[in-house]
Structure 1
């Protein structure tokens, strides 16, 4: 079954012509030469629901539409991401925008429900007339991607890590910000090999959402051909039950294949059952020390994570020029929690978008959905807030994104992460 058959909600509107006009932020130029010219590029617009909308020049305001959980347990994290993005856009707008085009964020709540995200994408495209989309969560990305690709609206730097969407030949209008679960877990296993050269048993805690299963499968793929074995896998539906079951496995290593809300909950659960594994690996999406590690006290001590962003709360980066600049500007532009890792994520995503938009604006036919997507497909950029030596790299065929990490370890007594190794290139 094709994507077009799966996305009747959006396509019905397309058939009715509601996508024919890209919105008040786009020019009215309907020159068919634009579409013909675009088809000569790396991304074919011939099968777009509305090829003219894909190639029409964007003027006035460029809208980025988010479907994200602004209610429920993830609301705080999502709110900080949006604040960080809005602050970075405010800085760019104050400097004149992208070739005079101002940047705006439009947010619709999906309560971390994929079905609501599916509805949101239709409304963002049809009613809000957004030029670019973004989302938070692998399930949300899965629900949105068919309609979004059929409509040829770029979805840039989605907060997801599903390997399937790295294939640009199948999802040419979609990119992800979070590193591929396969790539991240490959780096994790390389680190484990150094500590356990003979291999070891692993206890795997897995969230049952698509995001969690992506991490779990990524870890299983990464240990193939090694001496690491999974002694016990338990779902994170109830962290306390999972902790008890995993403790009984006797495994020295605990890997959390979870989402943001799991990291603190699982740490507190293993503390309650009196289990202190030799090594605990948390996913990179659980990066904020103040909210996800410090509240667990000694139970979180020694937990490890792979990172790519400079931590603005870490004294090790206190004299970094990029960190100083970030802290001054993000606070001056409305962000309530400048040192929060999710605020920083939003800022970094916006920085990546702005780099794409500026490149797209230099295209022969100017800033459009098509030129934005083509610029995103060839991006090779190191944002100032990325750790030195870590870049965001794309190709026409593969959405590579983040391919390198630096391992960090949480020190409960100091309430901070400290680097525990050099940058690892998982490519």
Structure 2
């Protein structure tokens, strides 16, 4: 384990309309021929290598209705704003970017139906989704059709196996990677170990976090005193309080963070340490409403927070705020909007490198570029890159720890960037 402030592998440019990877020239692997990516097993190999012209469509299956609708809407809004900047600059060698959205209400079966429609009816070139259950429902059809599903808002380790899911990548950090960093932090605070109360969402996303934490504490002196499902946060809070564990780990999804904090406040429980998942990064909506109950809760971040005074003079943040607001983002300081912008930025980098390949812009060249990406989006915290290789589909392997200050209603840094990339 190495804890240090990292030097960026890729220098972030302030001119967001010209953002791109410096992963190499046209002769490099990242921009190599699309023929290097296997299309033999595709249902339609010709479609996989056909050059994309005029418009490149990115199809989303996501919960635009229900409790996750606000977060999902901001992610998509951020991506659309980033694409608008790219389109205003001429697109990808003249090819304009378009987002096509279908609501799945966070229902995997609806996501399964959506992916068929997006591929067959809407003729999208790239897919994206929000949720591990949705990714699970979509992945087989999407891989059979050889339509890239890039930067899925999911964290389950299984889909990082490129031999089984060659046309799929995830954006959120691996649950195992994130929980390994969490446990390293806990070791520093509790060198003799301690008991842990584990709140676990029963979806595939929540179970990924729970299983990641259990794996990370193997061989340590940390033990799970009580695990409770988050089906009812109030019941979970009562059961976990009875364990008297000093540490509470939330293995949950976005909707669990505020609900669990409010629940532990109602039952009068204040654990010494509360760890929230990195997908719960928006202070205004997920921490401030809980008041004192959320004070000192901890989270790992990789994105710059445009509402944080620490980034007020950051050139990339200033440019982001200007460009996102000018291109339709209603809530540019919302962390999910920043997230969507960063995903859009990563896609623009992939598309740009794919277009430089010998065979030009195609589904196959896009996937080839995505499998060989090393890029630091300007809105990533300095020292954190998104790195993919054909062997390791991990993406984010570094974080900066933050602590929520209820009185000031903001996060404050709790240390330098923690990088475990050399330990993977």
After superposition, where does 1:102-141 map in structure 2 within 5 Å?
102-141=96-135
Q: How far apart are residue 426 of structure 1 and its match? A: 2.4
Alignment check: 8 A CA contact 2:196 2:245 kept: yes
CA distance, structure 2, for counterparts of residue 426 and residue 116 of structure 1: 37
Structure 1 SS opposite 2:337? helix
CA distance, structure 2, for counterparts of residue 266 and residue 369 of structure 1: 42
Alignment check: 8 A CA contact 1:38 1:44 kept: no
Q: How far apart are residue 411 of structure 1 and its match? A: 0.1
User: With structure 1 as the length reference, what TM-score do the two structures score?
Assistant: 0.91
In the alignment, which of 365, 372, 387 is matched to residue 393 of structure 1? Answer: 387
CA distance, structure 2, for counterparts of residue 40 and residue 112 of structure 1: 36
Segments ≥4 residues shifted beyond 4 Å: 37-40
After superposition, where does 1:66-145 map in structure 2 within 5 Å?
66-145=60-139
- Per the alignment, residue 233 of structure 1 pairs with 227
In the alignment, which of 34, 50, 53 is matched to residue 47 of structure 2? Answer: 53
User: What RMSD in Å do the two structures reach over aligned CA positions?
Assistant: 0.9
In the alignment, which of 156, 161, 169 is matched to residue 167 of structure 1? Answer: 161
CA displacement, residues 107-160 of structure 1 (integer Å, 9 cap, x when unaligned): 000000000000000000000000000000000000000000000000000000
- Per the alignment, residue 341 of structure 2 pairs with 347
Gaps of 5+ in 2: 1-31
In the alignment, which of 315, 323, 326 is matched to residue 320 of structure 2? Answer: 326
Structure 2 SS opposite 1:66? strand
After superposition, where does 1:197-212 map in structure 2 within 5 Å?
197-212=191-206
CA distance, structure 2, for counterparts of residue 53 and residue 398 of structure 1: 27
In the alignment, which of 341, 347, 368 is matched to residue 362 of structure 2? Answer: 368
Greater relative contact order structure (CA < 8 Å, 6+ sep): 2
- Per the alignment, residue 405 of structure 1 pairs with 399
Gaps of 5+ in 1: 1-36
CA displacement, residues 241-281 of structure 1 (integer Å, 9 cap, x when unaligned): 00000000000000000000000000000000000000000
CA distance, structure 1, for counterparts of residue 260 and residue 82 of structure 2: 33
Structure 1 SS opposite 2:366? helix
CA displacement, residues 383-425 of structure 1 (integer Å, 9 cap, x when unaligned): 0000011000001122110000000000000000000011111
- Per the alignment, residue 331 of structure 2 pairs with 337
Count of residue pairs brought into register by the alignment: 390
Alignment check: 8 A CA contact 2:34 2:49 kept: no
User: With structure 2 as the length reference, what TM-score do the two structures score?
Assistant: 0.91
Structure 2 SS opposite 1:156? strand
Q: How far apart are residue 365 of structure 1 and its match? A: 1.1
- Per the alignment, residue 314 of structure 1 pairs with 308
Alignment check: 8 A CA contact 1:134 1:155 kept: yes
Instruction: Please tell me whether residue 261 in structure 1 is matched to residue 255 in structure 2.
Output: yes
CA distance, structure 2, for counterparts of residue 277 and residue 143 of structure 1: 37
